[in-house]
Amino acid sequence: MSLQTDSRSTQELIKLALTEKDEDAVSILHFRGNQEVFAAASKLCASQNPQERELGADILGQLGIPDRTFPDECLAILLKLLECEQNADVLNSIAVAFGHLHDARAISSLVRLKNHPCSSVRYGVVFGLLGYEDKLAINTLIELSSDQDDEVRNWATFGLGSQIETDTTAIREALYQRFMNENTEKNYEIYAEALVGLAKRKDSRILTRLIEELSSDYVGLLAVEAAEEMADSRLYPALMQLKQWWTDNNNLLENAINNCREET
């Protein structure tokens, strides 16, 4: 049964989502996105039960996808809920919902949660702030890029490195700290996201390390993506050597080679 043809009632789907954590049920409610679903989710957000409030926020965050319905109303309900919410799971769901709604009016409310003791809430803050070319959002991501939690650091680094075009000294230094200080065996992805972000901003400090990365026995996608972004002819020899054996993504590698080819 597809999302379009599912005949179960809104209340049946909500019950499934609450009792069996049925993600398909939530997806159907998202897709249905009508007045009835909006009203039901709004009621859940006013519940005394935190599990119901969490589900309400989850529904409102993506109501009507792919064609959003009631976005302003959803935002207003979630902002109001955030004012008095204490439960960490609900706070996470609200923050993630803000990320899906992507409305700058939520930024200042999200930022107030940046020092929450629960890492899942701080992760929600990061997710909610992705993609904003906004000074407050960016400064908060910079701060959270050095968070003690790996997942929070990872997503904040990704947000700074790849999801915005802004290029400032503060952003570069935050990315460079992750590039230099992450344990590459444990947190390679964070290191590599910082590498891509610095390459995108043509930061020459990464060049020697990037050549070493491209010349090693294991070369990840993000290292080649960094070379593509860096577009520096000094990377060309290492990329041509890599071409002899690397098959993970030939189109990406060819783009990197073409970007780094010295013009004659």
Output the pLDDT for position 4: 66
Q: What is the pLDDT of residues 132-190, one digit of tens each?
A: 999 999 999 999 999 999 999 999 999 999 999 999 999 999 999 999 999 988 999 99
33: left (phi over 0), alpha (psi -120 to 50) or beta: left
- SS3 sequence of 186-245: CCHHHHHHHHHHHHHCCCHHHHHHHHHHHCCCCCCHHHHHHHHHHCCHHHHHHHHHHCCC
Secondary structure letter of residue 27 according to DSSP: H
Tokens describing residue 207: 């060049």
Q: Which residue reads 């993630």 in tokens?
A: 96
| Mean pLDDT across 247-261 | 95
In a 13 Å sphere around the CA of 108, the CA atoms on its Cβ side amount to: 2
| pLDDT tens-digit series, residues 212-239 | 999 999 999 999 999 999 999 999 999 9
In single-letter form, the type of residue at position 234 comes to: R
Any idea what DSSP says for residue 263?
P
Q: Is the pLDDT of residue 54 over 80?
A: yes
pLDDT, position 126: 98
pLDDT score of 53: 98
> What percent of the chain stands above pLDDT 70?
98
Asked whether the predicted pLDDT for residue 244 surpasses 80, the reply is yes
CA angle 238, 210, 182 (to 5 degrees): 150
**Is the pTM value of this prediction over 0.85?**
yes
The rounded mean pLDDT for the chain is 95
Domains in the chain: boundaries: 1-105, 130-201, 205-264
CA distance 118 to 250: 41
* Res. 20: pLDDT tops 90: no
114-136: per-residue pLDDT in tens? 999 999 999 999 999 999 999 99
H/E stretch holding 186 reads none
Give the model confidence (pLDDT) of 73-120 as tens digits. Answer: 999 999 999 999 999 999 999 999 999 999 999 999 999 999 999 999
